[in-house]
Homo-oligomer: A and B are copies of this chain.
């Protein structure tokens, strides 16, 4: 067992992070750092989420972070977040009332009060945006999410795998326009939601997969918010080598460290698609190619898959250890590329069917992280 593994396994022991019972203004930067790494290059710039949450937390005080044990089993959980292009969301600012409208519409539709707000996606800005709403509404924030990372589409949520209906889905934006979408399946929810997001101007917020606490317990990735906070805190401690710090904290594999020598990227079909190539800094002539659709989907070396979805591949700034989202990759950046296993639910046959390489049009089967296998 390597030292890294020993440290990684120690996190199975009682964790001081579990004691955290609220999120305050001072925690936002920490949470943002963690969400950025868990976003696999996608999920949007967490700084947008920080900006939205800061004022709300300053005004309304800390938000309670709760587990499912803290909530009534029949209480209604509202998974929610931003949909659309994060690049647009930066300029298409929310007016603060979006969460209240999502909750009000959800309560009207179901006839039940919402007992807690949950981010449907922990990665990127979406780990933080619903926190803003929880603060304004005085609702607790559930320490869980529907991805355990970031993915680009609505079927790619654990609630879908667990058979929770995606509809009714509520959408709104800063203009007060509101949509309720009822469909027979999540593919139609995705289609109508994506089209409407474009009509809204490219970004909107949504709540879907409404469910009770007992269902959420089996249908979500638990502990996501704590994990992001712990990861962000580790990154803030920032030892001699920030990438090593992240690798240790996540029990991840460093796929390469070097310089970005090529970025081929285009925005098409509402997604950022393309590839980036990282050249090894140690002069060994190694090249790692990243395939991108919003998130980093796969890392290939000499035609071999070193890591791929649903595992998490994140590009880190070599100097700071901060995650670099795919839309900000550029020639010359000094980076480390890390990978760590995605939540186990995504590595089941059902999970791979909606979030494995084939779901993104990649023509190879799911391949566990090469380095991780060898390290066992």
Contacts and interface: CB of A to CB of B under 8 A. Distances in A.
A200 B177 CA distance: 20
A192 B204 CA distance: 13
Nearest to A191: B199
A188 B175 CA distance: 10
A137 interface: no
B176 A179 contact: no
Contacts of A200: 192
Contacts of A183: 176-178
A353 interface: no
Copies in the complex: 2
A272 interface: no
A179 B177 contact: no
Contact of A184 (B175, B188, B194, B198): B175
A196 interface: yes
A180 B177 contact: no
9 contacts: A177-B181, A177-B182, A178-B181, A178-B182, A178-B183, A179-B180, A179-B192, A180-B182, A194-B199
Interface in A124-170: none
Interface residues of A, number: 19
B177 A188 contact: yes
Contact of A192 (B188, B194, B199): B199
Interface string A256-294: 000000000000000000000000000000000000000
Nearest to A170: B180
Given A178-B181, A179-B182, 16 more contacts: A175-B188, A176-B183, A176-B184, A177-B181, A177-B183, A177-B184, A178-B182, A178-B183, A179-B179, A179-B180, A179-B192, A180-B180, A191-B199, A192-B196, A192-B199, A195-B195
A197 to B, nearest CB: 10
Which residue, of A179, A188, A194, A200, has the highest number of chain B Cβ atoms within 10 A? A179
A176 B167 CA distance: 12
Contacts of A192: 177, 179, 196, 199-200
Interface in A300-327: none
Nearest to A182: B178
Contacts of A180: 179-180, 182
3 cross-chain pairs, A with B, having the tightest CB-CB distances, nearest first: A195-B199, A180-B180, A178-B182
Nearest to A177: B183
A181 B184 contact: no
Nearest to A105: B182
Interface in A191-238: 191-192, 194-196, 198-200
Contacts of A179: 179-182, 192
A154 to B, nearest CB: 14
Interface in A329-354: none
Interface in A74-121: none
A323 B196 CA distance: 36
A200 B196 CA distance: 11
A261 B292 CA distance: 54
Contacts of A184: 175-177
A177 B187 CA distance: 11
A11 to B, nearest CB: 44
A202 to B, nearest CB: 12
A147 to B, nearest CB: 24
Nearest to A195: B199
A69 to B, nearest CB: 35
A192 to B, nearest CB: 5
